[in-house]
Structure 1
Amino acid sequence: MTSALEELLPSTRRSLLHHIARAQAEGRTPSLVAAVAREGRLVWSGSRSSVDGHTPDADTQYRIGSITKTFTAVLVMRLRDEGLLDLNDPLERHLPGTGVGEVTISQLLGHTAGLSAESPAPWWERTPGMLRQGLADVLGERPVLHPAGRRHHYSNPGYTVLGSLIEAVRGSSWGEVLRREILEPLSMDRTTLAPVAPHAEGWAVHPWADVLLPEPSVDLGLMAPAGQLWSTAADLCRFGVFLAEGDDTVLSAASVAELRTPSVPPEAGQWGGGYGLGLQLAGQGSRILIGHAGSLPGFVASLWVSVEDGVAAVALANATSGPPVGVIAAELLNIVVDAEPRIPAPWRPLPEVDQALLSLTGPWYWGTQTFGMKLTADRGLELHPLRGNGRGSRFVSQPDDTWTGLDGYYAGETLRVVRRPDGSVNHLDLGSFVFTREPYDPEADVPGGVDEGGWRGSAS
């Protein structure tokens, strides 16, 4: 049974319905479906339709376009986690003969490989994939437009190449690998390569009249990994939960977090967003959203997730230039988070205490700057400045009695405790920086030494 805390308030539900009703009317789309998940489960869905007596629901399929790319990125990360490739490997090592083999797998994932945005004519989204029999037909005669690794340049051919890479390493079709390794473990039964009833039909809406034109729905062939999938609002909410929390049957939380890490800095004028590895990133005030948008002729789709708030929102519509579903999904998410903020978990003490680690807590000094050390779960440590600006990080314990930085300036750096011969702590070494119990402690091994005269009351 659903608990009262899991249900949305009636006022929140009405705000969500009002928002999509206005979006469908003002966006002039035949239908619009949306859904919201919170704390790992679907808590709301709604729809609006122009067809009397026919209202799609959260299990009605729509084409999701480039949201497909995130699924492809997850499959590549699985290969990495199994040790079958490294993200810094050149493509040629695993998929020879493409003509762009010097670019790395990471660059392809983050759209920084410098490849062209589209395949050569005819327009691939509206023509059968059989017209592009090989990667040479997808990449064209001039596939590289920018120096690799320097800038973000969105590339559909780049994800086509990643799909072929998955097939080469796995020895199975991209679609079969997707079904076996993501869709089945996450119970995404209504996400498929081809439409399965009930599904929406794709339409174009005339820009100057309220009339419709059917859009063709084609199999994208080799380009399927860039935009083939059909899915539902309910299934995409399940995927959104996975992108927030990870799932060890598919990809660990740590590896999913890598997908959310920006691949290159955003360009001028785009500081509100960015791109990770198969995931779009967007700033909403103090809130960071991750997800992806998608479109193909006849359809627009969007999925946004706030990891910190534990909320995911999906919006799907069946019009080529329909309502701005990316904005709509973000606004639905914000409605829920602002009206019903996440209730923090209760504070609980650590299950056990290591006295040696407890003795490391409290104030430390880097020169004259004051920091506080806190003990966290699983023998972790947190080091943060106590006054003003400074460099802080969380640290995870390692088997050799050191700690590795997880974020901030010290991400990846090593923190170690330096002891005297009698076992007492002399200082902390953090990437060569010395932290002492007193400012420039004369009893600690401070680089450059400490003046014998000690602290004084005048600089003269």
Structure 2
Amino acid sequence: MLPTTEFALLRRVATEQASGRAPSLSAAVVRNGELVWSAARGEVDGATPDNRTLYRIGSITKSLVAAVVMRLRDEGRLDLNDPLDKHVPGTEFGGLTVAQLLAHTSGLTSESPGAWWERTPGGTWTELNSSLGPNELKHRPGRRFHYSNVGYGVLGELVARLRGTTWLQAVREEILRPLGMSHTTDRPEGRHAQGYAVHPFADVVLPEPEHDAGAMAPAGQLWSCIDDLARWTAFVGGDTGEVLHPDTVAEMREAAVIDDSGPWTGGYGLGLQLAQVHGKRLAGHTGSMPGFLACVMIDPATRTGAVALANTTSGIGILSLTADLIAMADDHEPPLPAEWRPAPVDPALLELTGLWHWGPAPYHLRILPNGWLDLSPAVGTGRASRFRPLGDDRWLGLDGYYAGETLTVGRDSDGRPHYLDLATFVFTRTPYDPTAPVPGGVDAAGWQPMPER
């Protein structure tokens, strides 16, 4: 990036490390799938951390587990509406759905019963399951967002059973290896940061313990580095390789629930945390374990993302730092739009374009690349959606009010487009065309002045 941009980013990281008193802080900016800037402050083993220094990434682990669950869904091995009992029988909460567990709407308790799992070695799935009685369901399933580390321990067991291996091996084989995240591991290896708690009133530190969390490990076990998390950030933004279809990752980024504990600035999708900061809608995940803070976030609209890693229990605003790096990169060096070039278009689509009316309201239908369509109000705002071709004069709604609905072209006796049928709404070339199958029919007298009183 430009030297002025790099200095601004470095100053933001340096200020956070100094004011938050982090033993070390590493950060990076990702753009268009590539790591374009990185820097670190503080020390690990007497030297500045590099892009392969490992930090514990905590709950970012959940997103990787969620990606395996979505692969299972795409393969037809499970449905997101499946009850847990279908795949992991023998729990006290078998009616919870896979989607509810992914989105933290299951109502399950936030932490596993017993000693604090993040600082004490974990037990087996059998031990965890036996501790989860009816009282561990804290809310009616689907009622609200309630972050549940336990829920991801459960999802780890689901992955293990459907894959016939451990959750960790499934993540390694299906996510880490294909994406080239070769330095991400479950325990610290090679050069890694020691986790510390920093005394609140003195410049001294206390080492934090590191351990195997056992059955709770899918909620926050992994260690990673800037290089690997830059690749994961690009993945969340849509550069998915062969691991998942971009449409599936886009589905993971959709808000399944919002955190309404205050003004809405955040929510949760299917394994991905969402944040609205600086007018941007970001997706990724934060992570914390005793001695560590981590965050990966990306703005899919600009394809600019950021990573931040620190070896301190508290003191660093890890999400605000990451969001600031993204905003600063886009403000200092706004991404240029791709050059417009003429593209081949199916001539049969051209006759669909132009002005249509939903009742009296005018809409424009435009062609997008790959035969997609865009239907938007001609004036002002309203129900706008994009549509993907299904064949046979049918398109599937991708976003907005008509997401998931089907648009069908009705043709006249000469084969020309006559009307559009969209979820029972009929769009016509002229307002309320009497020759089209407008629901409820059209008054035979047609358009006329208001009757005099």
Query: Is TM > 0.5 for Structure 1 vs Structure 2?
Result: yes
In structure 1, how many angstroms separate the alpha carbons of the residues matched to 2:228 and 2:290?
A: 21
Query: Paired residue for 1:374, among 344, 355, 366?
Result: 366
Q: How many residues align?
A: 452
Whether the 8 Å contact between 2:268 and 2:274 is mirrored in structure 1 is yes
In structure 2, how many angstroms separate the alpha carbons of the residues matched to 1:214 and 1:331?
A: 29
1:405 counterpart residue number = 397
Instruction: Return the letter of the residue paired with 1:234.
Output: D
Query: Paired residue for 1:326, among 319, 322, 340?
Result: 319
Q: Deviations over 1:27-83 (max 9, x none)?
A: 011111111111111111111115795111111000010110000100100111111
SS in 1 for 2:281: strand
* 1:384 matched to 2:376: yes
1:211 counterpart residue number = 204
Distance 1:230 1:265, change over 3 A: closer
Please give the residue correspondences for 1:55-454 in structure 2 after superposition, counting only pairs within 5 Å.
55-130=48-123, 134-137=127-130, 139=132, 142-351=135-344, 353-454=345-446
Deviates more, 1:438-447 or 1:395-404: 438-447
SS in 2 for 1:124: coil
RMSD: 1.6
> Identity rate of aligned residues, in percent?
54
SS in 2 for 1:450: coil
Whether the 8 Å contact between 2:33 and 2:239 is mirrored in structure 1 is no
Distance 1:432 1:130, change over 3 A: closer
Deviates more, 1:441-450 or 1:333-342: 441-450
Unaligned runs of 5+ in 2: none
Q: Deviations over 1:423-450 (max 9, x none)?
A: 2333111111111111122332323333
Deviates more, 1:223-232 or 1:41-50: 41-50
Query: Paired residue for 1:29, among 22, 44, 69?
Result: 22
SS in 2 for 1:74: helix
Q: Deviations over 1:377-412 (max 9, x none)?
A: 222111100113321110111123211111111111
Deviates more, 1:435-444 or 1:145-154: 435-444
In structure 2, how many angstroms separate the alpha carbons of the residues matched to 1:182 and 1:50?
A: 30
Whether the 8 Å contact between 1:300 and 1:322 is mirrored in structure 2 is no
Deviates more, 1:108-117 or 1:382-391: 382-391
Distance 1:93 1:207, change over 3 A: same
1:3 counterpart residue number = none
Whether the 8 Å contact between 1:426 and 1:445 is mirrored in structure 2 is no
Q: Deviations over 1:165-193 (max 9, x none)?
A: 00000000111111111111111111000
Please, what TM-score do these two structures have when normalized by structure 1? 0.95
Whether the 8 Å contact between 2:24 and 2:311 is mirrored in structure 1 is yes
Whether the 8 Å contact between 1:120 and 1:140 is mirrored in structure 2 is no
SS in 2 for 1:125: coil
In structure 1, how many angstroms separate the alpha carbons of the residues matched to 2:233 and 2:45?
A: 31
Unaligned runs of 5+ in 1: 1-7
In structure 1, how many angstroms separate the alpha carbons of the residues matched to 2:231 and 2:309?
A: 15
In structure 2, how many angstroms separate the alpha carbons of the residues matched to 1:408 and 1:280?
A: 21
Q: Deviations over 1:227-261 (max 9, x none)?
A: 00000012111100011124242111011111101
- Kindly state the Cα deviation for residue 153 of structure 1 after the two structures are TM-superposed: 0.4
In structure 1, how many angstroms separate the alpha carbons of the residues matched to 2:66 and 2:212?
A: 20
- Kindly state the Cα deviation for residue 361 of structure 1 after the two structures are TM-superposed: 0.4
Distance 1:370 1:39, change over 3 A: same
Distance 1:247 1:319, change over 3 A: same
Deviates more, 1:323-332 or 1:86-95: 323-332
